[in-house]
A = this chain, B = another copy of it.
């Protein structure tokens, strides 16, 4: 796991895998040009699709690469949590992957398929000695009901990922101090979803600080980096919290300093 986590066992991951799940992909291709500076400011790894890895092979040379093995089968309707396996672990390794990832949706209609996909990927990843990351999303991509956002539900989902053989769990938290139960249930390093783009970056830093406080090992974030007017600043801020144990305010200062440079 040393290729996608820092020596401190923590990780800042940039999710560039939107083309397999959504039409909301503005900013993804554009972020590629910024990769050297993002890495310089603390980025540990990227999560990419086959297409991204293929189109920008050179750009990902100096950063950990997690390749996504699953694809939405309803790309124009984000309410439908159905996926199919596309890449095998071998396919991912040929692209230079350091890890593979897939989602599973406990409680959703396609639960059987996404659980089996997770199990099969976990076994194949084990055979190739690469870590398998499981994104455990109860019921759907997003919070769809009070039940889908209960800590017990998210915790059970996270543990199912581990029970299916995951080495790393990617999940959402609720912001409540009891989120620690999710981390404990997971029994594996947890990376927290970046979630939808927020307007207030300080709010986001506060949320990330909370995540680290309850025991998360980092974040996997997409639009809060790619759609921000200052992607480098977001990474610099995350670095402050995640790798340097800083406060949200200190992260915000890093973000602002970076912004000043950008405008200068």
Contact = CB atoms under 8 A, between A and B. Distances in A.
B76 A19 contact: no
A159 B29 CA distance: 11
A50 interface: yes
Contacts of A156: 19, 23, 25, 75-76
B153 A20 contact: no
A152 B51 contact: no
Contacts of A107: 74-77
A78 interface: no
Interface residue SS majority, chain A:
helix
A101 B20 CA distance: 21
A171 interface: no
A159 B20 CA distance: 9
Contact of A163 (B20, B77, B91, B152): B20
Given A153-B76, A159-B19, A84 B71 contact: no
Contact of A25 (B49, B123, B159): B159
A244 B63 CA distance: 44
A152 B76 CA distance: 11
Nearest to A74: B111
Copies of this subunit: 5
A115 interface: yes
Contacts of A261: none
Contacts of A86: 115-116, 119, 164
A18 B173 CA distance: 23
Given A50-B164, A86-B115, A164-B50, A23 B75 contact: no
Interface string A116-137: 1001000100000000000000
Interface size class on chain A is 35 or more
B164 A73 contact: no
Interface in A18-42: 19-20, 23, 25, 29
Contacts of A77: 107
12 contacts: A20-B163, A49-B163, A51-B159, A52-B163, A54-B165, A71-B115, A73-B111, A75-B106, A76-B147, A76-B153, A86-B116, A86-B164
Given A25-B159, A75-B156, A76-B138, 19 more contacts: A19-B159, A19-B160, A23-B152, A25-B156, A29-B187, A50-B164, A55-B162, A55-B187, A73-B111, A73-B115, A74-B107, A75-B106, A76-B106, A76-B139, A76-B147, A76-B153, A84-B116, A86-B115, A86-B164
